[in-house]
Each structure stands twice: as structure tokens, then as C-alpha cells.
Structure 1
């Protein structure tokens, strides 16, 4: 009898989990709702204790169902979902930290590390000629008090390289944070690293030359945009339940290796060819810019958009 009850609750849990993922993907429930697990994990101990109290007559699958229902209810009533679109300059109440790092004349390279919790973000490369002395500039905004010290932004220059690091992980409450960061395109980025919880927003690297791009997130709704900047970029992306939008110029050679359970991709329809275990664009070998992607995803959707290749006209980048 207990085994039959356990099977029923396992089925109910999978059905509810699927409903939650659909609600995430179609905007009925924000992706950062998963960050509330950090607030509610003690409920698991309480429910498990109740199961033991009743001599294990309550299966663990029922505990998971109760926890998931509690998580959804908490998120809808008390959670602070990230807005669908965060417009730079539109700041709400709360605290803000200005982020700024100078660009020394001898600096040619940079490394950036972002350690974040749940966040709505906009990170982009900008024309550094407008502010030749500025390597990075932006703001970080959060509501409420910091938990383990205030967020920190540090930079250090050693020879021709500047290392940038921003740390807000576990310091501010998830789901109430906003990051806007502009990066100068006047240097070469040897590494950009993002470690985050639930993320919603965009990272526009279309102006930047990046060697290594390492991204590790929880449940996310994120857009990554690349440009035909020359050179080679290695992307390592590890994420949970995610909606991922990749925007890559047609002129860029693209190779994608997938692992995990991506519920939906459009690689074949966008001209990529499955070769061994990699999805490869036909122009990969001849392209002046190559991007190699290793994507590990628990579940979700990946949309690849191949946009017209940019051209150079009178010193300005335009689209065909």
C-alpha cells in the first residue's frame, strides 16, 4: 500500500514540476522564483521530521510535493519577482553601489569575475573611445539590508592586465537586485566569469574580444549576444532550468556541444549541422571569428538567432 502511495506522489510531483517549468518558460512565474529555495529549505527538514514522526507512513515524494507547493505559494505571495524588462536608469527604492574602474594607458587586457545571487542584469560592451579613461562603469542596486557585508567591487592592475571583481553573492536578498555594467571595447578580455543564482537579463558582447567566457547559473532567462570581432571565444555554460537566447552573426563560425536535457533547440533549423556530438555551422573552418560552446543544461529551451553579418563603413559598424 505504501509503495502505491509513494508512486502516486512521485507522479504528482513530476506533473507539478512540469507545470512550474511551463509557467517559467511562458512568463506566468518568474525564473528567479527558484531562488526562494534558499529561504524555504528549512521546510524540507520540517516535512521530513513529520514523516518520521508518523513512522515513515508519509513517503518522501509527498514531502517534495508539499515543499514545491509551499515554494510556489511563497513566491506568489511574498516573493519579489524580477521585472520582465529592466530599463537602465530606471531605479527603484533601495541602496545603490556605483561601479567604476579606470583604464590605465598601459593596460591592454582585462579579466572580469561576477559573483552574484539572484539578479536582473544588463552587461554590455560599449565604445571606449567616448570615455578613453574608463574600463568599466555601472551600478548595482538592491533593496533591504545586506546579509554578510555590503556588495564589493574591486579592481587591480598588474602590468598590462586589469582584474575586475564584483561580489554580491549571499550578501543581498535574491530577486531584488539589479546590475548594470558597461565594459570598454578598448581592451582584450582574457576571461569573463559569471557565477550567479537566478538570472534574468542580457549580456551583449558584440563589441568585445573575449577568449574565455565561463557562465554558471541556476534557473535563468538570459540572452547572450556576440559579434564578429575576430579571434576565438570559448564558452562554457552550466545552468539549471533555463530559457537561453543566443544571438550570433551569420559570418561567425559556431560549434556547439550539448549535454544535459535541453527540452528544445532550433539548431538544425538555423543552419547548423550535427557532426559527431557537435552542432557546427558550415562556415566554421573559414570564419575569422570562431565561437566554441559547451552547454550543460538541466532543462529548458535554447533559441539560436543568426543575424546579418556586420560591415565596416566610415569607421562605424553597420548591418547588411
Structure 2
């Protein structure tokens, strides 16, 4: 059996093993971010096969599948067994923190929040005091934050330049906790890379929602304050869990082939090939339309 055939077999076994571990929640979906960064390993394998194929050292061509196997084993080990767990508040970390807020001066009519977060962990909730209160734990460059006011609309921009995490290292952090006032209508746009997202938007009056992500683990909770919310979600290889309030009509339009799709507790009808409607969509007083474009992702929708 040639090294080329063995290498192909190792590649397929590796992909299947990672997907299996993802589906059983034994491995985070952001493992795909590290695997994609290691694509030059494929070129190395091709080079080893060509270099030794017609020489007296042809047995060394089998270094190609060995390198491929070690790549998968290394990524799985460092992602699954040597990952530093985070639980608790940021104050438990022995690192410098960054705080930023926008005070509510009473002249606001609406808020536009644009977040470009890169890689890390992002947590968003509703707040009651400031228009926005943010706490960052990032041991590289601090985020850039600014806001302006135009005819009562407060536009807030938060930028984090950390677009990647160190491969096989959990020493660097880019974590944020953001609270947004629940007093005003909110237009929310979130752009992330390889990120863990915990977005509880249930107490916020969303007028528009956009999420653009790479390799993500996403928990997304919508509320019922908006009459008709349109949410656009564009993600790569991700694990997405969405919660919808009971009594809110749901329309899901998905332009994707999902690895798994679970909608327990919500009865969905399929009037067309890519559109799903909840049974009460036509009669519901409040509605949520979700436009989903995803890669090889897992989607779970539940009601609460």
C-alpha cells in the first residue's frame, strides 16, 4: 500500500474523529480554527512523498501519513486535554483589566452597537445604569472603543485586533463582558473570529441583529420585545444554540447543509426547500426571522 493511500486514509479518519468528538461535546468546535491554520502540513506531506518516492529511501515516504496523523493527534490533545478552563469572574485573573463605559445622559433615543472582536470569549447581557459597560481581559493589545451621538442615536464601536490565538497555547486571553442598556432600541452587529459567544439578548429591544463568525461556540437567546426582528447569522464551522420565547413566531431560512439540526419543543413546517415556519407564525403577534448561512455547523433551536 502506497504512502499516498495511507495518507488519504489518515486524513479521512482524522476529519471523522474530530467531527465525532464535536458531536459528543468532547471537543470544542474551535478545534477547526487550529486545523485550518495548519493547512501547510498538507504541502509538507506532498513534499515528503515526492522527495523520497523514486529513491533508495522510498520507505521514508511513509513519513507523510505519520506527519498527518501527528498533526491531528496534536491538535486534539492540546484542544481537548490541555485547554485552560475559565470559570468565574475576571477579577480572579492575575492580569491587568480594561474597563470602558458610556454613560446615559438622558438624550438617547436608540443605540447602535458594532463589535469586531476577533478571537476569544464574548459575553453580552442587558444592563440598567450605563448605556454600555464593558470589562475586558486581554493580555495583548487593549481593544479600541469609541462612540458618537447623532440626533439622539448613540453609535458605539468596539474593536479588538486579536484575530487569532496562539496555536497550542492557552497563555493569551481575549475575553469581554459587555452590558447594554435595556431602555432603548438596539441595533446590534457582531463580527468575531474563533470565539465562544454567550449572548443573552432576551431583555433587549432589538431592531436589527447581525452575527458574522468563523469557528464559534454560540449560545444565543432572543427576547420578545421587538414586534418583528430580522436576524442575519453567517458563520463557519460552529455549534449554534438558539432560544426563542414561547408565543413568538419563528421563520428560519437556512442556506446551508448542517451537520445536525435539532428543534425540540418547536414544531416547524417546511413550505419550501430552505424555509421553516413555526406553526403559529402567521398568527403570532411577534415574530423573529432568522437568515442562516453556515458551514459545517450544528444547530439547535429551543423555546423557553
TM-score by length of 1: 0.78
- The match for 1:170 among 126, 145, 162 is 162
Mapped contact 2:35–2:75 kept (Cα < 8 A): no
Query: What is the aligned partner in structure 1 of residue 137 from structure 2?
Result: 141
Inter-partner Cα distance in structure 1 for 2:66 and 2:144: 38
CA RMSD between the two structures: 3.1
Secondary structure, counterpart of 1:241 in structure 2: coil
Query: How many angstroms does 1:66 deviate by?
Result: 4.0
Distance in 2 (CA, whole Å) between partners of 1:13 and 1:37 is 12
2:98 alignment counterpart: 97
1:24 to 22, 25, 31: 22
Cα distance change of structure 1 residues 64 and 97 upon mapping to structure 2, 3 Å threshold? farther
Instruction: Assess if the C-alpha contact under 8 Å between 1:262 and 1:300 holds in 2.
Output: yes
> Does structure 2 retain, via aligned residues, the 8 Å contact 1:115–1:166?
yes
Compute the displacement of 1:212 (Å): 2.0
| 1:135–1:184 CA contact under 8 A, matched in 2 | yes
Q: Name which of structure 1's ranges 92-101 and 272-281 shifts more when overlaid on structure 2.
A: 92-101
Partners of 1:35 and 1:118 within 8 A in 2: no
1:195 aligns with 2:191: yes
Of residues 227, 230, 238 in structure 1, which corresponds to 2:226?
230
Q: Which residue of structure 2 lines up, in the alignment, with residue 316 of structure 1?
A: none
Query: In 1, distance between residues paired with 2:175 and 2:84?
Result: 9
Match status 1:81 vs 2:79: no
The 3-state SS of whatever aligns with 1:15 is helix
Q: Structure 2 CA distance, aligned partners of 1:38 and 1:262?
A: 19
User: Do residues 181 (structure 1) and 178 (structure 2) align?
Assistant: yes
Higher normalized strand content (fraction of residues): 1
Q: For structure 2, list consecutive stretches of 5 or more residues without a partner in the other structure.
A: none
- 1:151 maps onto 2:143 in alignment: yes
- Aligned residues, how many? 291
What's 2:276 paired with? 279
Paired residues of 2:263 and 2:302 also in contact (CA < 8 A): no
**What TM-score do you get using the length of structure 2 for normalisation?**
0.82
Report the counterpart of residue 153 of structure 2 in structure 1: 161
SS in 2 for 1:116: strand
